[in-house]
Structure 1
Amino acid sequence: MPSRTQKLLAKVPGPLRPFVVQHRSLVKFLVVGGSCFLLTLVINYGLKLTVCQNKPVVALTIGTAVSTVFSYILNRQWSFRSEGSHKEALPFFVVSAIAVGVNDVPLWISRYVFDLHKPHVSNFTQEVSDFLSGMIIGTLVAMAFRYWAMKKFVFTNTRADSSADVESPARVH
């Protein structure tokens, strides 16, 4: 009976399968990141359109912080499949706190250095600028930092996916 991973891998186009198998922790990390991006987006705009209308950096920080907790659970249990105790929790949250700051910097620069906010620009320009600088640029830079830092400092004692979990790409049809 094929495992869930084998079933999913069978749906990946043939030319991509070797990459996915070789870099499975990166692929899993990106799936977790995509889920957390959506969670951050919902929380960020939920706050920004209600109680944090004049505080976009605060709204983004709260959204990112909440999704960080979700990210910890998924990355620990799935992306990096950490063994042992929760000893990586403290370094995870230290790295994540730095990453929240990294994520906020582009939004802060666009808003308060380049003055891309009302009344200096239209509401549309402000919102596009906020989205591009905070949700896109900030997220991409923070994601690259997180992936590097998680592998280097947090999930250093991870077990490799077993052969029972992932078969050779040539054997998956």
Structure 2
Amino acid sequence: MAFVGKLVNWLPEKILVRVLPHAEMLKFLVVGGIAFIVTTVLFFGIKWTVLPQHPVTANIIAVLVATVLSYVLNREWSFAERGGRQRHHEAALFFIVAGIGLAINQVPLWISSYVFDLRQPNVSVLMENFADFISGSIIGTLLATAFRWWAMRKFVFPEESTNGEMILDAEATDAPSLD
């Protein structure tokens, strides 16, 4: 990616030395940021138009679309240096992990909507949407992201040893490049 190369060349060496060992995580977080924007735009677009009475369903649809985008970006960029699994096996594991992440993501929104009943007419439109954003888009996303980071590295895109075997719980020993 040309933008990343320019950014790396622009960074002072002191910062670059600290950033490079975490390049894989930073790429994962960039992909997550893109998926977050897609999820948020789709969630509120669907919630405000076709599914105003079903915020959890609207969020599930938005997260599913963003998950497909996330798989492509993670496979081709974030974790491009990892694994040697067959694509169908890798994709199946990715979507299982993403499905668990999707469930984790919905818990705070469900609690906000149906346990605390932060829905109209109990609260104003502004308060409902604020509660949905905080619980679904912020808290749910943070919890699901932490789970996905761990599970993607452990199960979906594990390290490959020199003899071609998968190392399921290894930490990265070499600092990957940002390109």
Q: Return 5+ residue gaps in structure 2 as ranges.
A: 162-171
The answer to whether the Cα contact below 8 Å between 1:103 and 1:138 also exists between their aligned partners in 2 is yes
> TM-score by structure 1 length?
0.86
Return 21-30 or 9-18, whichever deviates more: 9-18
The answer to whether the Cα contact below 8 Å between 1:118 and 1:126 also exists between their aligned partners in 2 is yes
Choose from 94, 97, 100 the match for 1:95. Answer: 97
Is it true that 1:132 corresponds to 2:131 in the alignment? Answer: no
The alignment yields a C-alpha RMSD, in angstroms, of 2.5
The answer to whether the Cα contact below 8 Å between 1:106 and 1:138 also exists between their aligned partners in 2 is yes
The DSSP-based 3-state class of the residue aligned with 2:76 is helix
Deviation per residue, 1:118-162 (Å, 9 max, x gap): 1111111111000000000001110111000100111014698x9
The answer to whether the Cα contact below 8 Å between 2:104 and 2:140 also exists between their aligned partners in 1 is yes
Is it true that 1:67 corresponds to 2:66 in the alignment? Answer: yes
Alignment partners' CA distance in 1, 2:59 and 2:176: 41
Give the alignment of 1:74-153 within 5 angstroms: 74-81=73-80, 82-84=82-84, 85-86=86-87, 87-153=89-155
1:15 CA displacement? 3.9
Q: Indicate the residue corresponding to 1:155 in structure 2.
A: 157
Alignment partners' CA distance in 2, 1:164 and 1:134: 32
Q: Return 5+ residue gaps in structure 1 as ranges.
A: 168-173
Identity rate, percent: 47
Q: Indicate the residue corresponding to 1:17 in structure 2.
A: 16
Alignment partners' CA distance in 1, 2:139 and 2:18: 25
Alignment partners' CA distance in 2, 1:152 and 1:51: 38
Give the alignment of 1:27-42 within 5 angstroms: 27-42=26-41
The DSSP-based 3-state class of the residue aligned with 1:117 is coil
